[in-house]
Structure 1
Amino acid sequence: MSACLICIGSNDHRKENLLLARQNLYALFPSIYFATEMETEPLYLKNTARFSNQVALFVTAMEKEAVVNALKEIEIKAGRRPEDKTAEKIPLDIDLLVYGNEILKPKDLRREYIQKGVEELGTLLAREEVGE
């Protein structure tokens, strides 16, 4: 079993697409935990549409490549298309940041909203262990 940390983001139909992501992720990974959804400014984009972002943690027996493929399928369900990249329209982006002991996106992990989400998940899991 491998612990996975992901970040979900959207700047197009944000609420609907994050809801779709959460529903699909729950179906795939029933033990998933989500941090609070956060609104952020776009990074490295000319499009000024704000983003909704959310960090989540789950454990899976799936191989890393299978997890990545499953996340891409959810993005496609939300309407993500290759041509949206040039328009900087991101219906849904789900990044696998950590898989087991492997940090896949170290730069992303340094982002403030991701650090806040990770901290919140740590607090949530600690409370659950104590039985609060």
Structure 2
Amino acid sequence: MEYPYACTIGLGSNTPDREAQIKDAIDHICDYLSRASVSTVYESPAINGKDAPYLNAVIHGLSPVGSPALISFLKEWERDKGRTESAPGEVPIDLDLVIFNSRILRPKDFERHYFNRGYRELLANGAFLIDN
């Protein structure tokens, strides 16, 4: 089934199990979206320059729900995988809805290298043609 809402999600993890965290999140999100495209997984330095480097990826696809429900779906996964605010510097998994229905919801993330690398890769590979 095709869903009505185009979305682009940024993923990141910087814990020792970051490869498994990213892979599990990709599988979980791709099972939820239709026509999902996934960038390669790549390493990015922490923005603050002192925390462990991140693995990142970007997913673009079609969501069955509006943005508030999709954000809830992503944040619930983060909590289930151990994301808390009490452990600064360690991020088991970070899932952010950056673009929804051609609207940039998180401009700072949209401009950051950790999102842009995967976004540009998906753009070059034609992932956004599914929006039409």
TM range (shorter): 0.7 to 0.9
Q: Deviations over 1:40-91 (max 9, x none)?
A: 11002642x110010110112301100000001111222212312x3x1100
Q: Does 1:102 align with 2:114?
A: no
Take 1:32 and 1:109, find their aligned partners in 2: how far apart are those partners? 19
Equivalent position amino acid for 2:26 in 1: R
Take 2:114 and 2:84, find their aligned partners in 1: how far apart are those partners? 25
Q: Deviations over 1:11-63 (max 9, x none)?
A: 0111010011011112211421111111011002642x110010110112301
Q: Does 1:27 align with 2:31?
A: yes
> Percent identity of the aligned residues?
29
For residue 9 of structure 1, what is the aligned residue in structure 2? 12
For residue 83 of structure 2, what is the aligned residue in structure 1? 80
Q: Which runs of 5+ in 1 are unaligned?
A: none
Take 1:51 and 1:40, find their aligned partners in 2: how far apart are those partners? 5
Max radius of gyration: which structure?
Answer: 1
Secondary structure (helix, strand or coil) at the match of 2:126 reads helix
Q: Which runs of 5+ in 2 are unaligned?
A: none
Aligned match of 1:37 in 38, 41, 46?
Answer: 41
Equivalent position amino acid for 2:41 in 1: E
Q: TM-score, normalised to structure 1's length? A: 0.85
Take 2:102 and 2:120, find their aligned partners in 1: how far apart are those partners? 18
Take 2:85 and 2:117, find their aligned partners in 1: how far apart are those partners? 30
Equivalent position amino acid for 1:114 in 2: F
For residue 63 of structure 2, what is the aligned residue in structure 1? 60
Contact 1:3 1:60 in 2 (8 A): yes
Equivalent position amino acid for 1:24 in 2: H
Q: Which runs of 4+ in 1 moved over 3 A?
A: none
Take 2:80 and 2:22, find their aligned partners in 1: how far apart are those partners? 12
Contact 2:32 2:63 in 1 (8 A): no
Take 1:96 and 1:45, find their aligned partners in 2: how far apart are those partners? 24
